[in-house]
Structure 1
């Protein structure tokens, strides 16, 4: 009989178009406002931030997906109206704030996008249909992307006179390089499934009906390896984008030393 201590930790949370479901080592975060194609607003960003904060330590893999036909059509266009969202600052209000206030506001919005890169969890975006602007950046926040064959990525901020500011520029640069990243952002064009796989934006493309199964299969493959080895490997690769060759060699040695001592029962 399984003791209470051995039962997998479960958790459910739903607020402002975000649903979090945790079953043991896997968390599923769902954008759950399909009637608006999961368009994002400030309340949704706060809910996404809260989902990251309450994620149990048992979670090893987090899957992010969108309910309905689209992953996320980007920022809710109501944000661009003079009245904005009730009880929230409009873009005009933000523009009139001090530099410090404006910086703090954007930093708060970015928190919904940053926790997906935490070292102890591998994150997977399962993306179908439109992933526009903030939707594209949310998919880029994850470590891995599984896409449906109908996916349409686009960075449309420049067409609105803005820039991508929700942490998407760094991963896009790391994945596709400067020239292609500039072209994708400056033109706002669509990147479809075949190109996404070819240039590294997606790990795999599958028929729409197989998207959930493909994400689940990838999660299961990630769970097959010991957690500490995966955590060390993720940290090693994340840091490798800014280290020199010799610095990366040293980081490999240090990480392997920790793993060997741990496997020998000599860890701290």
Structure 2
């Protein structure tokens, strides 16, 4: 069932699995504020019984990054040129970028597991969108690159936090500052890709993983995701306490003693 189809984004739901598709292959799924608004709307539209969200893209590229027309004086039709945005007050710039970031944050909601199916180029904003997902399954032709710094900018679409968490500070710094491409073998070796498969097998691999992710009871999966998400900001002792509290909730629920 298709629930949304606009501005290069399509949302379809089949039971507990939702699929968000970047649907503008003619432009290599270049991103724009309209696409980000549509992604935000997709997150808000998800039915409550969805447990897994697959992020995929049509065509040879996952996403070639930001539509460069945003940096021209005329900008993208119907949108504020980024050159005009630069002249706005600092609080206006901050507010606008925060709105853009909403398209990249909901994928890590504790009640969902998100899986990005990534093929071809995932550059800049495309790389950051792939990083927004919990898990990345990649085709063997994938090419990641963070080009923002090379263009005099910074990655500002929430990609820096997961990149450092996945790769560590030094490697994340090197990838961002050089803007070089990370190809499939390296992506799998350094943990950027959870799995690399031939391009023809990408959809099947994602379907298999989605089915496996649905295998556990939802409440246990939600608690486990929350524990793992918070581990990096807790001390060892705090994490032990969080595990005890989560397990207490699970035991009581299983015994029929939950609130």
For the criterion TM > 0.5, the same-fold answer is yes
Any idea what the Cα deviations from partners look like across 1:143-174, whole Å, max 9, x if unmatched? 00000000000000011110000000000000
Structure 2: state its 5+ residue gaps. none
Residue 256 of structure 2 is matched in structure 1 by 265
Matched, 1:109 2:100: yes
CA distance in 1: counterparts of 2:197 and 2:104, whole angstroms:
25
Deviates further, 75-84 or 62-71: 75-84
Spell out, residue by residue over 1:23-60, the C-alpha distance to the aligned partner (whole angstroms, 9 max, x if none): 11000000000000000011000000000001110100
- Corresponding residue to 2:79 among 88, 112, 118: 88
Post-superposition offset of 1:241 = 1.0
- Paired residues, number: 259
SS at match of 1:147: strand
Q: Superposed, which structure 2 residues align to 1:55-74 within 5 Å?
A: 55-74=46-65
CA distance in 1, matches of 2:113, 2:87: 39
Indicate yes or no: 2:185 matched with 1:187: no
Local SS of the residue matching 1:71: coil
| Contact 1:147–1:211 (Cα < 8 Å) also in 2 | yes
CA-to-aligned-CA distance 1:103-147 (integer Å, 9 cap, x gap): 000000000000001000000000000000000000000000000
Pairing 1:148–2:115 present: no
**Shift, 1:63, TM fit:** 0.2
Q: Is 1:127 the equivalent of 2:134?
A: no
- 1:21 matched to 2:4? The reply is no
CA contact (8 A) 2:2 2:10 kept: no
1:170 matches 2:174: no
SS state at 2:39 partner: helix
Q: Which runs of 4+ in 1 moved over 6 A?
A: none
- Structure 2 Cα separation of the partners of residues 72 and 149 of structure 1: 16
Any stretches of 5+ residues in structure 1 without a counterpart? 1-9
CA contact (8 A) 2:70 2:81 kept: yes
Instruction: Please tell me whether residue 210 in structure 1 is matched to residue 195 in structure 2.
Output: no
Paired residue for 1:50, among 41, 58, 81?
A: 41
> CA shift at 1:87, angstroms?
2.0
Alignment of 1:199 with 2:190, yes or no, is: yes
Query: Matched residue of 2:36: which SS?
Result: helix
Distance 1:39 1:90 in 2: 16
When the two chains are superposed, the root-mean-square deviation of aligned CA atoms in Å is 0.7
Alpha-carbon distance in 1 for matches of 2:22, 2:175: 25
